[in-house]
Amino acid sequence: MLFDRVLEQIVQGNRFDPELALEVAEYQLRRVPLYKEFAQRVGVSLPLRDPGQIPFFPVEFFKRERIFAGEPEGFFLSSGTGGDRSRSYYNHQSLELYKASALRSFPFPDSPLFSLIPPVSLAPSSSLAWMIGAFESRWGVTYLNDLFEIDPGLVLERIRRELPPGGTLFATSLQLLRLAEGGGEPLDLPMRIIETGGYKATGKIYRREELYGAASRLFPKACLSSEYGMAELFSQFYSVGEGGLYLSHPYNPLFGEEGEGLLQVFDFANLYTLSALLVPDRVVRKGSLFDVRGRVTREARGCGYVFK
């Protein structure tokens, strides 16, 4: 069964399986009409003979189309920090793949986990909250906030009181910025902070270096890491590589040439939506590592991604 083989690839795979990727892409081309239409427009038809033929689908279409192979049981909404909110549909098997991918990719399972992301019971449409819930079921998570909005003074006091040395704290970029701008006394606690993106949520685009500089003044002994993910992807990347680069895995490898370009990722965990996705983020690839240099504007993408 295709689901079982994809799950095995996520849980145990140590190398990219091109034959399985071709099978997944062909399954999606047959089951998702919009993907089939897109493939025909870019000159791709079945059967696929090698992974280089797999068409990479722009994630922008998740904002206005129901993309799913079959009948979904629910959906996640994107944060909407870039404008319209995407819907990523799922069924119970999707969530099983999502959980397997999240658990395998997380690099700090031995650290006590704390979260400013609210519990999924209070944010049921958030894929990020669902991911933290997967960590809670495996390793345990202490929640320090019930909303995405935070009161910097109250949250900082809870961090001082409850976070042990060596603990790991999940926070959105906006939450971390609110804490850094809250004017609290620096907290000399050895800890790890994992920020989860969303630099545009304040109406001003912050570079990661600016955010980390502000956070380091409040948490001078913290190690800052980043989680790169989105509602359209059921796998995540963490900045644990050399120089703070993000690390891909055999179940969510990058495609395209070495060097700079748009992000092309094949996510096996997206079995029931689309695995081969083109993301309008400019990245620099170095093998299985990559750096994110920012979102590419619609104007800069040119006409190559127009599909009506």
> What is the domain partition of the chain in residue ranges?
2-295
List, for residues 238-250, the tens digit of each pLDDT value: 998 667 899 999 9
Where is average pLDDT lowest: 39-43, 132-136, 164-168, 204-208? 204-208
Helix (H) or strand (E) holding 163: none
List, for residues 85-100, the tens digit of each pLDDT value: 889 999 999 999 999 9
Q: Give the pLDDT score at 308.
A: 29
> What's this model's pTM, rounded to 2 decimal places?
0.91
**Model confidence at 181, in pLDDT bands (50, 70, 90)?**
confident
Give the torsion sign (CA, 100, 103, 173, 120): positive
Burial class for 297, CB neighbours closer than 10 Å (0-12, 13-18, 19+): exposed
pLDDT at 81 over 80: no
DSSP state letter for 254:
B
Residue with the bigger pLDDT between 215 and 210: it is 215
pLDDT at 299 over 70: no
Bridge partners for 184 per DSSP: none
The two three-digit tokens of residue 149, written as one number: 């909005």
Q: Residues of the chain with pLDDT > 90: what percent?
A: 79
Q: Give the pLDDT score at 235.
A: 97
- Contact predicate 279/59, CB 8 Å: yes
Whole-number Å distance between alpha carbons of 210 and 278: 27
Q: Give the pLDDT score at 204.
A: 59
pLDDT at 80 over 70: no
Q: Residues of the chain with pLDDT > 70: what percent?
A: 91
List, for residues 134-157, the tens digit of each pLDDT value: 999 999 999 999 999 999 999 999
- CATH code of domain 2-295: 3.40.50.12780
Q: Give the pLDDT score at 205.
A: 62
Q: Give the pLDDT score at 296.
A: 77
Q: Give the pLDDT score at 90.
A: 97
Whole-number Å distance between alpha carbons of 88 and 25: 18
**For residues 108-113, average pLDDT:** 95
**Model confidence at 183, in pLDDT bands (50, 70, 90)?**
confident
**Model confidence at 256, in pLDDT bands (50, 70, 90)?**
confident
**For residues 257-277, average pLDDT:** 95
The H-assigned helical ranges of 53-200 are: 92-105, 127-139, 152-162, 173-180
Please name which of 256, 296, 294, 290 lies closest in space to residue 276, comparing C-alpha atoms: 256
Taking the chain, what is the end-to-end CA distance rounded to the nearest angstrom? 34
